[in-house]
Amino acid sequence: MAKAPSTIYFVSLGCPKNRVDSEVMVGVADGNGFEIVDDPSKASVIVVNTCGFIGNAKKESIDTIFEMASYKEQGSCKRLVVAGCLSQRHPQEMAAEMPEVDHFLGSSDMLRLREILDGKGDRMMVGNPAQWVLQASDPRALTTGRASAYLKIAEGCNRTCSFCVIPQLRGKQRSRQVPDVVEEARKLIDQGVFEINLVSQDTIAYGRDLPKDGRPVLADVIQQVADLPGLRWLRIHYLYPEALDDRLLDLLANHPTVLPYIDMPLQHAADGMLRRMRRGHGGDRIRRTVERLREAVPGLVFRTAFIVGHPGETEEEFKELCDFVQWAEFDRVGVFRYSDEDSSLSATLDHKVPARTAEARHRRLMALQRKIAHKKNKALVGQTVEVIVEGVSDEHEYVMMGRHRGQAPEIDGQVYLSEGEARPGELRRVQIVDASDYDLVGEILDEPALVAAPAPRPIKAGNGRVSLAVLR
């Protein structure tokens, strides 16, 4: 009788870049004959890929590690593996304080999971983050569904923002060569992916670390990926607010596959705060960048992020930020409360902002943005949009959900589909009939799918639930 495969369960925390790393580890496990399960109580190995960027993320990671450790007593777990940025940042402390953990991997040790699964791994396997760059030949199994995927074009970061420790966790920037990126994109499309989201820590700086002779720029990789047959949507994440070349703007405005969508974390708008954050520019340049993008890219969807409560932030500077958000009318805004991070420059600064003040500013800025977002969503009522059907809603079992081209995966809200029949993974035309602050309601038009789904049978709202699964 054939031996039953060993089982493994994954938890991926943090950003989309971390998700790609987790998918590499899932690919390693699959290649080693492990069965990926969606219930930790049934897993013989559990892997937690952690985030160590800010205080809340660290707490979530630590809580998850201890939660997963309980399955060594209550379930079938024999080995608990902790990987990612938190173990990269605090390897010795975690090893001493977490005897429940059997193996530690860092932020660049995804492929070394194979050693652990082969029974040859040491307990401490945290390496140098600068020694690894994802390659198209690396194993990877999608966890986002067959229609959509993230594509990481670089590792690390060369910026020196005072609040950020990413360069310490991920190393200096290492850009992938264009042909390798294109090869991975082609593989994803061959699997049925028609939405690719380009990510890195500092996407606008792509290629600057490569040899000067023939050095590519961001527009080169975007152009070549966007031109691949079978791709419908290409979205760009994490652009730094600096000069954007005309070719990039032309791709955003005119290429049929490159979505008019910008994810550009601005962090603040007041000159004094931007200096303390070491962002390398002032508020005037940010305003000019926003104006240039709005003028050059018709129908632009602009996502950004800000930090409130950074050391030294005055009430006047916070008001300047609010005025800026009111002026810019961004489509999507994320607001983060500052937290001191060991080894960051910001942690050494005086004039700390009380936590209650930072929390109040967070609420005020989010309330302001909520009104802007609601107005923009209401403007879509009556329009017909293309929507990727993702499955049955986790909140309403009789309602399906999806995303239109202005909604990035997992961060930008949903389109809830109250009427019609479709398969997860289809691209359908939908008429928007209602809107809330962040989500939309639409009806599927009775016409053929723009892109067919790989699922073998249709799922109608109310006729079952679709759960997110690892797809191989």
**Residue pointed to by tokens 């309602």:** 399
Calpha distance 151→64 (Å, rounded): 26
Reported confidence tier of residue 173, pLDDT bands at 50, 70, 90: very high
- Asked which of 83-92, 301-310, 311-320 is least confident by mean pLDDT, the reply is 83-92
For 421-460, strand residue ranges (E) read: 421-422, 427-435, 440-444, 459-460
Per residue in 127-162, pLDDT (tens digit) is: 988 888 999 999 999 887 779 999 999 999 999 999
- Compute the Cα dihedral for 346, 350, 351, 355 and give only its sign: positive
d(CA 370, CA 372): 5
Least-confidence region, from 309-318, 349-358, 397-406: 397-406
Lowest mean pLDDT of 1-10, 379-388, 412-421, name the range. Answer: 1-10
- Of the candidates 330, 208, 184, 189, the residue with the CA atom closest to the CA atom of residue 261: 330
User: H helices within 299-451, ranges in order?
Assistant: 315-328, 355-378
Read off φ and ψ for residue 241, nearest 5 degrees: -75, 80
| Position 471 pLDDT exceeds 70 | no
In the chain, what percentage of residues exceed pLDDT 90? Answer: 71
Contact 430, 417 (CB under 8 A): yes
Alpha-carbon distance 95 to 99, whole Å? 7
pLDDT digits (tens, 9 = 90+) for 447-468: 877 887 764 433 333 332 222 3
Strand partners, 404: 387
Q: What is the pLDDT of residue 4?
A: 54
Q: Region 190-204: what's the mean pLDDT?
A: 94
H or E segment and range at residue 46: strand 45-50
Name which of 219, 212, 216 is nearest 198 in CA terms: 219
Q: For 384-460, CATH number? A: 2.40.50.140
In a 3-state reduction of DSSP, which class is residue 229?
A: coil
Q: At 362, is the secondary structure helix, strand, or coil? A: helix
Q: How many CA atoms lie within 13 A of 63 on its CB side?
A: 7
Q: Please state the domain extents for the chain.
A: 7-131, 148-378, 384-460
By the 8 A CB rule, do 46 and 8 touch?
Answer: yes
| Within this chain, domains 7-131 and 148-378 share the same CATH topology | no
The confidence score (pLDDT) of residue 454 equals 65
Of 388, 398, 380, 409, give the one whose Cα is nearest residue 459: 398
Share the mean pLDDT of the chain. 89
The continuous run of DSSP H or E covering 262 comes out as strand 258-263
**Among 270, 265, 236, which Cα is nearest to 253's?**
236
pTM: 0.90
In angstroms, the CA 335 to CA 332 distance is 10
Interval 259-289: pLDDT, tens:
999 999 999 999 999 999 999 899 999 999 9
8 A C-beta contact, residue 293 and residue 262: yes
Does 242 or 54 have the greater pLDDT score? Answer: 242
What's the mean pLDDT in 294-316?
A: 96
The fold of the 7-131 domain, in CATH, is Rossmann fold (3.40.50)
401 in Cβ contact with 415 (< 8 Å): yes
d(CA 211, CA 441): 49
CA-CA-CA-CA dihedral for 283, 289, 291, 292, to nearest 10:
160
Distance in angstroms (rounded) separating the CA atoms of residues 435 and 442: 9
3-state secondary structure of 199: strand
Whole-number Å distance between alpha carbons of 176 and 470: 26
Give per-residue pLDDT as tens, 236-260: 999 998 878 899 999 999 999 999 9
What does the pLDDT average to over 326-339?
Answer: 95
Q: In what order do the strands lie in the sheet with 35-36?
A: 35-36, 7-12, 45-50, 79-84, 103-105, 124-125
Closest-CA residue to 423 (of 146, 92, 33): 146
Higher pLDDT, residue 107 or 1: 107
Fold of 148-378: pyruvate-formate lyase- activating enzyme (3.80.30)
**CB burial of residue 350 (10 Å; 0-12, 13-18, 19+):** exposed
| H-run or E-run covering 303 | strand 301-308
pLDDT at 469: 31
